[in-house]
Amino acid sequence: MGFQSPAQDYIQRRLTVTDFVVHNPAATLFIEMDEGMLVVDRSVPVKRGDRVALVHEGMSILARTGDRCIITDDGQRIAGEALDDVIVLGKVTYEIMSVWRDNGPV
């Protein structure tokens, strides 16, 4: 029988990306995109200028909040009564994007 390793007290658990980007698991959504993934937190208050994920006319889109309006990533302004049809999923808190592209001719 040997001695226990002195480093045994310093063993840490393995870190994952969710340890860094998920602050409220019950309110966190992951949205997959062509370029990567969005982390959306439904518990974080949304304020002017924030990037949000939302559903409008049955489509999931990204937008920024403005003064009594929402500006989509493609420049469409949603305001007035059209806002009644918008469902805000939450604030985009992180974007996880791939920097590697396999463009090889294989």
- What pLDDT digit, counting tens, does each position of 33-86 carry? 888 999 999 999 999 999 999 999 999 999 999 999 999 999 999 999 999 999
Least confident of 13-22, 35-44, 96-105: 96-105
Q: Which residue has the higher pLDDT, 104 or 83?
A: 83
Per-residue pLDDT at 106 exceeds 70: no
Task: Extract the runs of DSSP E, i.e. beta strands, from 13-75.
Answer: 28-32, 36-41, 51-56, 59-65, 69-72
Give the start-to-end residue ranges of the domains of the chain.
Answer: 25-97
Name the pTM for this structure.
0.78
Q: Which of 98, 66, 69, 93 is nearest to 81 (CA)?
A: 69
Question: In which residue are the tokens 């974007």 written?
Answer: 95
Per-residue pLDDT at 17 exceeds 90: no
Average pLDDT over residues 16-44: 93
> What class is the 25-97 domain?
mainly beta
Helix (H, G, I), strand (E, B) or coil at 6: helix
